Chains A and B, each alone.
Chain A
Amino acid sequence: MTTQQQLTTIPGQTSDTLSPRAADGTHKPGGLAAMNLLDVCEVLVRRAEKRGATQVEVYGERVTALSSSLEQGLLKGAQAAEHEAFGLRVFVGDKVGYACVNRRDPKALDEAIDDALAIARAAEGDVGNDLFDPLPARPIHGLDDPAIRDATVDDAVALALRMLEAAKAEDARASVDSGSVGLSFGETAIASSRGLRVVDQDSAVSVGLFGMAIDGDEVSSFDHAADAVRFLRDVDVEHIGREFARRVTALLKPRAGKAYTGPVLFSPEAFEEIFLATLLSATDGDTVLKGRSRLQDKLGTRIATSGLTLVDDGTRAGAIGSAAFDREGRPHRRTVIVGDGVLHRFLYDGRAARRAKTQPTGHAQGSARSMPSIGTTNLAMAPGHLSDKALFAALGDGLYVTRFSGNVDEVSGDFSGVAKGSFLVKRGRIVAPVKETLIAGNVYGLLQRIVGIGSAVKRTMATEAPAVLIDGVVVTTG
């Protein structure tokens, strides 16, 4: 655990000049190149203030990554990457400009400050363009694995080969089009003219396989398996390999689906992609303020069948979506978004909160490349009471959807698309995968027609959800 957080005033060793020589003319050994990430952010804040900014926030990120790639069922190669970038949010009164630069040299950094200032001066003013005073950060345990810092490219290559071999051993018909294993550790720092000064480190292992099954002349639909965790010891590449092989081979020999309007069982991944993503877009405080949310007047009212509870929690120890602070340096917290079908709250970053005359909820997200936006951390939908067997029995005859390839209109909630990786179910049992089968409906209408929620929760990256049975879905076939 190497988290270090400082919310104190600026230490004296920082320089307010971008040149290797300090303002007093004394030589600073190493200059910017030798400074830590937070101090570079601090220097940029002071520099932008001197050039005319009334408020400044600088977000710095640095990532060191080792990875190995697979292609066409073979090891393709290995990669080493070091990335650093600074995102400058510069205010002139109630106007804002933004610039990002991926280099430390004084000329490029000065140019970024001037770009951001030029944009701010040319832009329209807005009440949302104002920073908040900092809040104390809360350290989160288990986000940084020393074993990843010590890893070599050979470790990434070995993991990739083990994942590939596990897929082949599970079923020789599984064909890996591409895959990768990435080991990364990163540092994030933010400084602002309001006295914010935070820094944190974390690590991640991300693994994934993408491809299809090939059996003689038959090629299945694409599918994938992937995961991301904080600690090297927690990654199970053999499990990912086996899951990939099982998923793609299950799609061989598809048959025509059946057209009907009625119940459809959605896997956790499919429910998340169609329903949760749309719901989250409509609870984004910015979307609400702009009149693009179907839920804008629904706070405190029922928006889904009772039993649907959705919680975001960026403070969970060791979780992939956790961090000591958000993109604006504010601590994350546990937030109930929907409780037993009732809409509890909208999510805000600083700008949306200023506009809505409320407080930020710790949901600012994004990289150095863009201004903060609103997003969740670790999202969890509460499990229901039905076992998988009971869910399939309740479906009876119908469609089980595990992947969706289509479009959800986030404004209206209308969706339509191909039910990929989907199966025909008869008398509660999977009979065969389907092809050329489309599903359509309206997210908001169908959330009121949930007839069953699974008791088993599956985590996909930073989201946990159960399988969900919904009535009233339109199924079309070719």
Chain B
Amino acid sequence: MLDLLESALSRAQGPWLELRLHDRRTRSISVENGKTEMARTVRHCGVGVRAFVDGAWGFASTSVLSLEAIERAIAQATAAARAASAAKKRAGQKPADAPAAVAWRSGTYFSPTTEPLSARTLEEKIALVLQTEAEARKAASVITSAQATWSELVDEKYIATSDGARVHLRDDKPELRVSAVASRDGELQTCMEATGKTGGFGELFLHKTPTQMAMKCAQTAMDLLSAPFVDGGRKQVILAPDVVGLLVHEAIGHTVEADFVLAGSAAAGKLGQQVASPLVTLCDSGASEYEAGAGGIVMVDDEGVPCRKVTIIEQGVLKSYLHNRESAAHFGVEPTGNARAFEFDNEPLIRMRNTYIEPGASSLSSMIEGVEDGWLLKGAKNGQADANAEFMFVVGEAWPIKGGKLGRLHRGTTITGDAFDVLRSVDAVGDDFTWDLGSGYCGKGQPAKVDAGGPHLRCVATLASGGASMDDGE
């Protein structure tokens, strides 16, 4: 396939070009209450073409894998770039920076895995989902409904650019989610357990077996039925690794993506400044540091750039942003391998990969003992970043800590704060490490598979108080 892209490149004259052939096979199987609700395969295959002409970008794509079709897409992308360039000139806008030079490492890159997903049959995967759902549903009589979903992305990519990239990539990303609904006296509570990794079954079930996932979500949904609401406000909190993952991804990671920095994010102009506690070292890596199988493994990015580990914050000092080739040229640094496109018909954007805080020296028990009045927060759900560094994220479980002792489960809540204030408030970093944000997607105009995690972390944040119940209005 690289030959096909090279032929198209050799016949095109003039503009800088990037060709990316991406063949994606997605499979998902969803079972609910013992029934196969959805089982499907999706083949999404084609070539995306980016052209850079006189300070503007053009993009086009085709799902037809012939030389003629790719040449037509090249012509469309080039014409689009020319139209944009002419309009920029008429509007008096400065040209975009040309892509920075790259030390290419041509070759074939297969993401590490214990076994390829193709080693497991369709029947095996369907049986796994049926069994996991049944285990959650049958865990207790108050469980009225359960759901389990398998999904996998199997990718093969070829990238060639007119300035030298020649790369072939293969990557498998599986995911299993199981959720249960518990019901009593008209009250419904739900809990979900999920794992998403790069690799095979070995990576996916590294920490919990499917049975353990099913039991955990059923038990938590049941416990939430009688769980009180959180009494919110500004509190000392211990964040579990999945919530640390949300914090570093949402609250910090997005503000250091160089495109957000250029638009004026809260991290703009802060390189070299102390932005966090000296206990905090925060990184983003295309590899799976500390533990195998991180869900955001990327060996070479979608501009063909080999992925580098980026130390974003080192002992509290902001050291680096995340770059693609264009932003690297603008800032006068080397590209970091953070340009990612979800599918062939998406343009690469600056995205995170695996983002984490490096482990420290504190045990979890000593961190809990040091809290007079606070919360242990687990079960990361969704989160959002903001330009002004104010973040929010949702946690499914809140455990009160009074006088250094852990209390009973409370309902989930929302946490907010200024990201850098929260990182400055960190007074203990755990000695453990887990990747725990690999299921689901990060959204930024297009989805991306990412992961995040770290050790337990103790800091200060604002929690929402619980809400009124349905009965309040009746």
Which A residues have a C-beta under 8 Å from some C-beta of B? 68, 71-84, 95-103, 108, 111-112, 115-116, 118-119, 122-124, 126, 152-154, 157-158, 161, 165, 175-178, 211-212, 214, 219-222, 290-292, 294, 369-371, 405-407, 409, 411-418, 420, 435-436, 438-442, 444-449, 472-474, 476-478
Which of these, A123, A212, A409, A412, contacts B264 with CB under 8 Å?
A: A212
Closest A-chain residue to B32, C-beta based?
A: A290
Which of these, A158, A420, A438, A442, contacts B232 with CB under 8 Å?
A: A438
Chain A neighbourhood of B32, CB < 8 A: 290
Which of these, A74, A98, A112, contacts B93 with CB under 8 Å?
A: A74
Q: A74-B88, A416-B466 are in contact. Are A119 and B473 (CB under 8 A)?
A: no
Which of these, B34, B126, B462, contacts A476 with CB under 8 Å?
A: B462
Q: Is the Cβ of B345 less than 8 Å from the Cβ of A100?
A: no
Q: Is the Cβ of A74 less than 8 Å from the Cβ of B80?
A: no
Q: Is the Cβ of B43 less than 8 Å from the Cβ of A76?
A: no
Shortest C-beta distance, B68 to chain A (Å), equals 12
Stretch at the interface among B207-215, B297-305, B306-314, B386-394: B386-394
Q: Is the Cβ of A81 less than 8 Å from the Cβ of B61?
A: yes
**For the complex, is B166 an interface residue (Cβ under 8 Å from A)?**
no
Query: 30 A-B pairs, CB-CB below 8 angstroms?
Result: A74-B88, A75-B93, A76-B56, A77-B59, A77-B80, A77-B81, A78-B57, A79-B58, A83-B345, A84-B63, A98-B39, A102-B44, A118-B122, A123-B39, A177-B264, A212-B388, A219-B388, A290-B145, A291-B183, A292-B188, A411-B190, A418-B390, A436-B418, A442-B467, A442-B468, A444-B470, A445-B468, A445-B472, A476-B464, A478-B417
Shortest C-beta distance, A384 to chain B (Å), equals 18
Chain B neighbourhood of A177, CB < 8 A: 259-260, 263-264, 387
Task: Compute how far the CA of A75 lies from the CA of B91 in the bound complex, rounded to whole angstroms.
Answer: 9
Give the 7 A-B CB pairs with smallest separation, nearest first: A448-B473, A77-B57, A478-B462, A438-B464, A78-B80, A407-B394, A98-B40
Shortest C-beta distance, B82 to chain A (Å), equals 9
Q: A75-B88, A438-B232 are in contact. Are A123 and B187 (CB under 8 A)?
A: no
Which B residues have a C-beta under 8 Å from some C-beta of A? 31-36, 38-46, 56-64, 76-77, 79-81, 83-84, 87-88, 91, 93-94, 96, 122-123, 126, 130, 144-145, 181, 183, 186-190, 232-234, 259-260, 262-266, 345, 347, 381-382, 384, 386-388, 390, 392, 394, 411-414, 416-418, 445, 462-474
Q: Is the Cβ of B387 less than 8 Å from the Cβ of A472?
A: no
Q: Is the Cβ of B96 less than 8 Å from the Cβ of A212?
A: no
Q: Is the Cβ of B39 less than 8 Å from the Cβ of A445?
A: no
Q: Is the Cβ of A406 less than 8 Å from the Cβ of B473?
A: no
Task: Compute how far the CA of A416 lies from the CA of B394 in the bound complex, rounded to whole angstroms.
Answer: 8
Which of these, B130, B418, B474, contacts A124 with CB under 8 Å?
A: B130
Supplied contacts A74-B94, A80-B79, 12 more A-B pairs, CB within 8 Å: A77-B84, A96-B39, A118-B122, A123-B39, A126-B35, A153-B80, A157-B84, A292-B181, A409-B190, A472-B472, A477-B462, A478-B233
Q: Is the Cβ of B56 less than 8 Å from the Cβ of A77?
A: yes
Q: Is the Cβ of B413 less than 8 Å from the Cβ of A416?
A: yes
Closest B-chain residue to A417, C-beta based?
A: B414
Task: Compute how far the CA of A388 lies from the CA of B421 in the bound complex, rounded to whole angstroms.
Answer: 37
Q: Is the Cβ of B40 less than 8 Å from the Cβ of A221?
A: no
Q: A119-B40, A438-B416 are in contact. Are A478 and B394 (CB under 8 A)?
A: no
Task: Compute how far the CA of A87 lies from the CA of B126 in the bound complex, rounded to whole angstroms.
Answer: 21
Q: A75-B93, A418-B416 are in contact. Are A157 and B83 (CB under 8 A)?
A: yes
Chain B neighbourhood of A75, CB < 8 A: 56, 84, 87-88, 91, 93
Q: Is the Cβ of A448 less than 8 Å from the Cβ of B474?
A: yes
Which of these, A97, A221, A442, contacts B39 with CB under 8 Å?
A: A97
Chain B neighbourhood of A445, CB < 8 A: 467-474
Shortest C-beta distance, B49 to chain A (Å), equals 10
Chain A neighbourhood of B96, CB < 8 A: 74, 76-77
Q: A406-B394, A415-B467 are in contact. Are A478 and B416 (CB under 8 A)?
A: yes
Q: Is the Cβ of B79 less than 8 Å from the Cβ of A153?
A: yes
Residue picked from B35, B40, B81, B187, most chain A C-beta under 10 Å: B40
Q: A177-B260, A219-B387, A436-B462 are in contact. Are A111 and B43 (CB under 8 A)?
A: yes
Chain B neighbourhood of A438, CB < 8 A: 232, 414, 416, 462-465
Which of these, A112, A411, A413, A417, contacts B464 with CB under 8 Å?
A: A417
Chain A neighbourhood of B145, CB < 8 A: 290-292
Task: Compute how far the CA of A45 lies from the CA of B336 in the bound complex, rounded to whole angstroms.
Answer: 48
Q: Is the Cβ of B390 less than 8 Å from the Cβ of A435?
A: yes
Task: Compute how far the CA of A219 lies from the CA of B81 in the bound complex, rounded to whole angstroms.
Answer: 32
Q: Is the Cβ of B392 less than 8 Å from the Cβ of A100?
A: no
Q: Is the Cβ of B462 less than 8 Å from the Cβ of A115?
A: no
Task: Compute how far the CA of A435 lies from the CA of B87 in the bound complex, rounded to whole angstroms.
Answer: 39
Chain A neighbourhood of B468, CB < 8 A: 441-442, 445-446, 472-474
Shortest C-beta distance, A270 to chain B (Å), equals 15
Task: Compute how far the CA of A112 lies from the CA of B411 in the bound complex, rounded to whole angstroms.
Answer: 44
Q: A81-B61, A415-B467 are in contact. Are A291 and B414 (CB under 8 A)?
A: no
Task: Compute how far the CA of A71 lies from the CA of B123 in the bound complex, rounded to whole angstroms.
Answer: 46
Q: Is the Cβ of A219 less than 8 Å from the Cβ of B264?
A: yes
Shortest C-beta distance, A80 to chain B (Å), equals 4
Residue picked from B38, B62, B77, B181, most chain A C-beta under 10 Å: B38
Shortest C-beta distance, B443 to chain A (Å), equals 12
Q: A124-B35, A294-B470, A446-B473 are in contact. Are A76 and B416 (CB under 8 A)?
A: no
Chain B neighbourhood of A436, CB < 8 A: 390, 416-418, 462
Q: Is the Cβ of B122 less than 8 Å from the Cβ of A122?
A: yes
Chain B neighbourhood of A435, CB < 8 A: 388, 390
Task: Compute how far the CA of A84 lies from the CA of B260 in the bound complex, rounded to whole angstroms.
Answer: 33
Shortest C-beta distance, A41 to chain B (Å), equals 17
Closest B-chain residue to A217, C-beta based?
A: B269
Shortest C-beta distance, A333 to chain B (Å), equals 26
Chain B neighbourhood of A154, CB < 8 A: 83, 87
Q: Is the Cβ of A219 less than 8 Å from the Cβ of B266?
A: yes
Shortest C-beta distance, B1 to chain A (Å), equals 15
Chain A neighbourhood of B57, CB < 8 A: 76-78
